[in-house]
Structure 1
Amino acid sequence: MNQPMTLEDVATSWKRHTAASAPCSESDMHGRIARWGDIPASDRAFVDTYIPGHERTLFSVIGSGVTDDPAFRPKIATAENFHVDYIVAPQGSGAALHCHDSEEVFFIHAGRWELDWLDGATGTLHTTMLAPRDLVSVPPHVHRAFRSVDGESGMIVSILGGKTPSPVKWDASVAAKATARGAGFDAAGAALKVSNLAGRGTMEGLDH
């Protein structure tokens, strides 16, 4: 039978549950704030945006960046184990099927969004509807796609795990559609579009 605790026992029990704060100056903390008007945005952050129906704007908030545009950097570069983006898309548009090598959480900030995911075991494409304040965690290496149902009024928040996630991997169907429109990658992995498929063409980098 447990003996009654004394006040001294209670005080001692706190020793494993207290710690001093690490240094963090006022300027340090201000460097970790992303104010809405200062967040970098791009409508060409990913190669699939060259495919009709996948137009969207990515607001890169924090992390090392996992876009198809190495020059497009988040507002806050310092992130130990996660990356955050905001996504706004026209009605019916959103990301094509792709996967990451770490978990990705989607939080519905506003509007309704449809989420697709591909079961690699059966080849079945599943779909579900997500409403404001809903949240879903997509496992690593599972292909997912999402699209806005409520247009420009909707916003989805993407939270990607991992210190340095690998670049996005696209479903083969996306590669075929992008290739047909002259969209691909240069040697450095940056998305580009060949403007003249009949000849050698010229390469257009992503707009910033």
Structure 2
Amino acid sequence: MATARHARPKELEGVPIDTILERYVARFADRKADWAAFEDAKIEGFKRAQHRFIGAGGSGKHGDKSSIPAGNFTLSIMFVPPGQGNAAHTHEVEEVFFVLQGYLDVFVQDEDGRKITRRLGPWECISCPAGVIHGYQNDSLEPVYFQVMIGRGKPETMGYADEELFKRRDNHLKS
């Protein structure tokens, strides 16, 4: 006989374990590459695909029924072709980039525009604190795959540092 030493969340009380396992396993083969996950992904230089596993990430697309329900964080895999990246932005909570394959140039930036960059390779990561302007660029010759985690189950849509992008940061949710 086994004893659960912690209570299940309310939504899982009385749910059979086979149902839990079906709902809480996500396979890469079943993920759809979302090339319109972010407003800046429409702009050359920022094109990338999000593969959602847990929750929605910073895209704001919280209605994705194929991803595992988020509790206290989100998890996605990003595919970024050479020469692409994302726009400088912030989040209300921390965001982690963990490189799986390829090389990713990550940056942090202050409000005066000073930017510091570091190249990350496989099995290296950065944790971007809440409110710190950050982003990434694939300046290598090969695609990069990396994991993204955001420290809230339903985070706000990313806060672009660029004023024009910030004004339309939710437009991708309307299409």
Would you call these one fold, judging by a TM-score over 0.5? yes
User: Does residue 1:73 correspond to 2:64, yes or no?
Assistant: yes
Residue by residue over 1:157-184, the C-alpha shift from the partner in whole angstroms, topping out at 9 and shown as x without a partner, is 10000233111110126639xx9xxxx3
Cα distance between partner residues in 1 of 2:66 and 2:136 = 24
| Residues 113/78 of structure 1: CA separation in 2 closer, same or farther (3 Å cut) | same
Kindly report the root-mean-square deviation, in angstroms, between the aligned alpha carbons of the 2 structures.
2.7
The total of aligned residue pairs comes to: 166
Give the C-alpha shift of residue 151 in structure 1. Answer: 5.2
Within the candidate set 144, 158, 163, 1:168 is matched to 158
| Residues 32/169 of structure 1: CA separation in 2 closer, same or farther (3 Å cut) | same
TM superposition score normalised by structure 1? 0.69
What are the equivalent positions in structure 2 for 1:1-208 lying under 5 Å apart?
19=5, 22=8, 25-67=17-59, 70=61, 73=64, 75-120=66-111, 122-150=112-140, 153-172=143-162, 175=165, 184=168, 189-191=170-172, 206=175
SS at match of 2:59: coil
Deviation larger for 26-35 or 104-113: 26-35
| Residues 71/41 of structure 1: CA separation in 2 closer, same or farther (3 Å cut) | farther
1:35 is matched by which residue type in structure 2?
R
Contiguous gaps of at least 5 residues in structure 2:
none
CA contact (8 A) 2:58 2:150 kept: no
Give the C-alpha shift of residue 142 in structure 1. Answer: 1.1
| Residues 30/148 of structure 1: CA separation in 2 closer, same or farther (3 Å cut) | same
Residue by residue over 1:26-48, the C-alpha shift from the partner in whole angstroms, topping out at 9 and shown as x without a partner, is 22112111111111321111111
Give the C-alpha shift of residue 55 in structure 1. Answer: 0.8
- Matched-pair identity in %: 24
SS at match of 1:191: helix
After the TM superposition, list the runs of 4 or more consecutive aligned residues in structure 1 that deviate by more than 3 angstroms: 20-24, 149-153
Contiguous gaps of at least 5 residues in structure 1:
1-17, 193-204
SS at match of 1:85: strand
Cα distance between partner residues in 2 of 1:21 and 1:83 = 22
| Residues 155/170 of structure 1: CA separation in 2 closer, same or farther (3 Å cut) | same
SS at match of 2:29: helix
| Residues 55/118 of structure 1: CA separation in 2 closer, same or farther (3 Å cut) | same
Which structure exhibits the higher relative contact order, with contacts defined as CA atoms closer than 8 Å and separated by 6 or more residues?
A: 2
Which one has the largest radius of gyration?
A: 1
